[in-house]
Amino acid sequence: MTARPDQIALLANAAVPAFKCPPEQRCISSILEPYKSMSLENKRRDLMVLSALIDYPGVGLILFETGCAEDIDVKWGAPITDIFPRTQYRENQKLPAAIKETGNNIEDVKAVIMGHLHLDHAGGLEHFIGTDVPIYTHEEEFKHACWAVATGADLGVYMGHYIDLEKLNWKTFNESTLDLFQGISIHHLPGHTPGLCGLQINLENDGTFIWTTGQFHVRENYDLGQPHGGLARDHNAWYRSLSLVRRLQRLFNAKLIFGHDKEVGMCYKLAKEYYE
Ligand SMILES: [Zn+2]
C-alpha cells in the first residue's frame, strides 16, 4: 500500500508529544525552598579503649584486642588526633604495663583475638610484630583492612603501621561462629566493619560475657538500636548483628561490654580484680 502525499507530510512532522500539566496545575513553591537548618546540640563524653586478658588453662594468656598505638602523635598524626583526642594515658595504661599490672607479661601472650582492625583496637599489634603469636581475625576483616589501607578507600580508621603482612602471624577464619577454645566463641557481627567479631566467654562462676567491640561503641547503640552514624559501614548488616547479639544476650543471660563505653567498662573493672 502506498502512502498518500498528505500522509507523508504528516509523518514527516510527527514528534513525540511533550505532555503538559493540566491547566490548573500549580507548583508548590515551598518545596523548592532550601531546608531550614536544624540546630543540633553537640555533646561530648569520655570514652575508653579496652582489652581483655584471658588466662586459659592449658593454653596460657589470650588477649582480646590491643588498643591504640602508644605514640599516636607519630603513628596517627593530625587531624586524626584532633578527631579522636587521647585525654588520659598513664604509664600503667600502656599495653605491656597494663598486662604487667595483672601479674603477667606481654611476652607470655599465646594468642591475640581481634574483634576488628580499626586503629583504636588493633594499633597495639605493634607489640607483636616480629613474634610468632597468632593473630586471629575474620577473613573479611583482614581483606577489607588490607584493601582499605592499600587503596586509601577507608584509610584513617585503618592504618598500615600495624597491618604488617610479613612480620605478624595472621590467622584468619571465615565461620560465622567459631569456637576457638572450649567456652570461648567468636561471632561474626558485620556492620561497623565487614568482618567485625564479638567475643563470647562462658565463665564457670561469673557467667557469660560478650565483648561487642565496635558493633556498639556505647550502651545506647545496643539499648536503643541506634547505629553510630557514619561509623557504621553497612546499616542492614548492623541491624542483623544487633538481633544476633540480643538473642545471644537472652539465651546466655550475658553481660555486655561495649567497645568504648567508659561507664560500663569501669563498672566491671572496678567491681572485681578478675572474673572466673
Ligand atoms: Zn571501630
> Which residues 6+ apart lie within 8 Å of 150 measured at CB?
none
> Which residues 6+ apart lie within 8 Å of 209 measured at CB?
200, 201, 203, 254, 255, 256, 257, 275
> So what's the pLDDT on residue 29?
46
- 244: Cα separation from own chain's centroid: 16
**Which residues have their alpha-adjacent CB atom under 5 A from ion ligand 1?**
118, 214
* Rounded (10°) CA dihedral 144, 199, 214, 156: -40
Q: How far is ligand 1, taken at its centre, from the CA of residue 117, in Å? A: 7
- Sequential pLDDT tens for the chain (276 residues): 455 666 666 555 555 556 666 676 555 444 444 444 455 577 888 999 999 999 999 999 999 999 999 999 999 999 999 888 999 999 999 999 999 999 999 999 999 999 999 999 999 999 999 999 999 999 999 999 999 999 998 878 999 999 999 999 999 999 999 999 999 999 999 999 999 999 999 999 999 999 999 999 999 999 999 998 777 778 999 999 999 999 999 999 999 999 999 999 999 999 999 999
Q: How far is ligand 1, taken at its centre, from the CA of residue 213, in Å? A: 7
Q: How far is ligand 1, taken at its centre, from the CA of residue 196, in Å? A: 9
Distance CA 120, CA 65 (A): 9
Q: How far is ligand 1, taken at its centre, from the CA of residue 56, in Å? A: 26
> So what's the pLDDT on residue 44?
84
> So what's the pLDDT on residue 35?
44
Q: How far is ligand 1, taken at its centre, from the CA of residue 233, in Å? A: 10
Distance CA 262, CA 152 (A): 31
> So what's the pLDDT on residue 275?
96
> So what's the pLDDT on residue 194?
96
Distance CA 20, CA 25 (A): 10
> So what's the pLDDT on residue 229?
77
Q: How far is ligand 1, taken at its centre, from the CA of residue 118, in Å? A: 5
> So what's the pLDDT on residue 17?
55
String of b and e for 199-220 (b: at least 16 CB within 10 Å)?
bbbeeeeeebbbbbbbbbbbee
> So what's the pLDDT on residue 224?
95
> So what's the pLDDT on residue 13?
57
Residue type, 182: Q
Neighbours of 69 (CB within 10 A): 22
Q: How far is ligand 1, taken at its centre, from the CA of residue 185, in Å? A: 20
Q: How far is ligand 1, taken at its centre, from the CA of residue 101, in Å? A: 26
Q: How far is ligand 1, taken at its centre, from the CA of residue 148, in Å? A: 13
> So what's the pLDDT on residue 131?
98
- Among candidate residues 45, 93, 44, the one with its CA nearest the CA of residue 261: 45
